[in-house]
């Protein structure tokens, strides 16, 4: 008795699902969804070739240092890097003395406690400290940025589809709204305090263009600091902040693949040896 009832219940569910699918398809054909500005004018990120790309990728430490400089001089005014410590900069080629100097000279001090009174205070950063946030809290951050909250950049290239390519395209993608967009979607005019960027999900972003001109930073290694170069460098740096162990992961992956190939070969030879006397 239980089996027939179970079969009837299963058939009922199947019928309901099939009916819903057919009704949905018919409605979609009769009344297709209205076109939106985001759907028609949103662009996918442009490909970005970095040394860290691919299964054998390795970090270009000179580029990472340039990217850190862009972050320090341009991005750090609004965006935090709360999961990265100053001492982590050793991994991209800075010496211990340089790391200590960077921490000590950082524009924002870290929260502390006055040892004499126990009252909240601030102090100069040390190598062991995380990068301090530019705002004391979310309310202050929104108040300073037209009610928009600047996101933390530590894991940005892992949190966004296309990672570094997205960051690079976004930084170099600011432009005036196309006349075609305003003609087709007159209600899509960029509002006050927003900036048109076709690589952003809804086309309008609260962040003003951070890289506005060539030479905005001066690279110590003499690399020309074009807007595109600065965007590439800071994108590469954010790949490192999001996945600092990328190189060791790649090395481990290569070793595992080699091991599996050797083990497969040995297993196949053992199989041939064990069954060599058996005729089919």
Grade residue 7 by pLDDT with cuts at 50, 70 and 90: confident
Q: Supply the pTM of this predicted model.
A: 0.85
The CA distances from residue 14 to 3, 19, 23, in Å, are 16, 8, 14
Q: How many percent of the chain have pLDDT more than 90?
A: 71
Per-residue pLDDT at 35: 65
Beta pairing class for 204-205 and 195-196: antiparallel
**Choice among 16-30, 113-127, 254-268 with the minimum mean pLDDT:** 16-30
79 in a known ligand binding site: yes
Grade residue 36 by pLDDT with cuts at 50, 70 and 90: confident
Helix (H, G, I), strand (E, B) or coil at 14: helix
Average pLDDT, whole number, for the chain? 91
Nearest to 46 by CA among 165, 135, 220, 211: 165
Q: Decide which of 186 and 218 is more confident.
A: 218
Helix (H, G, I), strand (E, B) or coil at 110: strand
42 in a known ligand binding site: no
As a whole number of angstroms, the distance between CA 55 and CA 246 comes to 10
As a whole number of angstroms, the distance between CA 203 and CA 209 comes to 14
Domain covering 37-84+131-248 in this structure, CATH number: 1.10.760.10
75 in a known ligand binding site: yes
Per-residue pLDDT at 34: 63
Q: Which sequence spans correspond to the domains of the chain?
A: 37-84+131-248
Beta strands in the chain, from DSSP E residues, in sequence order:
110-113, 120-123, 195-196, 204-205
Residue 222 clears pLDDT 60, i.e. is over it: yes
């Amino acid at each position: 008795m239980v089996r027939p009832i179970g079969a009837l219940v299963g058939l009922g569910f199947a019928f309901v699902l099939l009916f819903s699918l057919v009704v949905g398809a018919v409605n979609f054909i009769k009344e297709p969804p209205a076109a939106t500005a985001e759907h028609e004018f949103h662009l996918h990120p442009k490909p970005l070739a970095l040394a860290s790309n691919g299964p054998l990728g390795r970090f270009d430490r000179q580029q990472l240092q340039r990217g850190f400089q862009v972050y320090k001089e341009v991005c750090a005014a609004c965006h935090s890097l709360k999961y990265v410590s100053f001492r982590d900069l050793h991994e991209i080629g800075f010496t211990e003395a340089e790391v200590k100097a960077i921490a000590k000279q950082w524009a924002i001090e870290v929260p502390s406690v006055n040892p004499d009174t126990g009252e909240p205070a601030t102090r100069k950063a040390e190598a062991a400290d995380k990068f301090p946030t530019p705002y004391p809290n979310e309310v202050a951050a929104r108040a300073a940025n037209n009610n928009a909250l600047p996101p933390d950049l530590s894991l940005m290239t892992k949190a966004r589809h296309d990672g570094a390519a997205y960051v690079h395209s976004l930084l170099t993608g600011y432009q005036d709204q196309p006349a075609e967009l305003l003609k087709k979607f007159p209600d899509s005019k960029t509002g006050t305090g927003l900036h048109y960027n076709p690589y952003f999900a809804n086309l309008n972003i609260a962040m003003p263009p951070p890289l506005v001109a060539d030479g905005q930073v001066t690279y110590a290694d003499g690399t020309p600091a074009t807007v595109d170069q600065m965007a590439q460098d800071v994108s590469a740096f954010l790949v490192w902040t999001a996945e600092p162990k990328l190189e060791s992961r790649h090395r481990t992956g290569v070793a595992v693949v080699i091991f599996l190939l050797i083990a497969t070969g040995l297993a196949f030879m053992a199989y041939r040896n064990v069954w060599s006397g058996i005729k089919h």
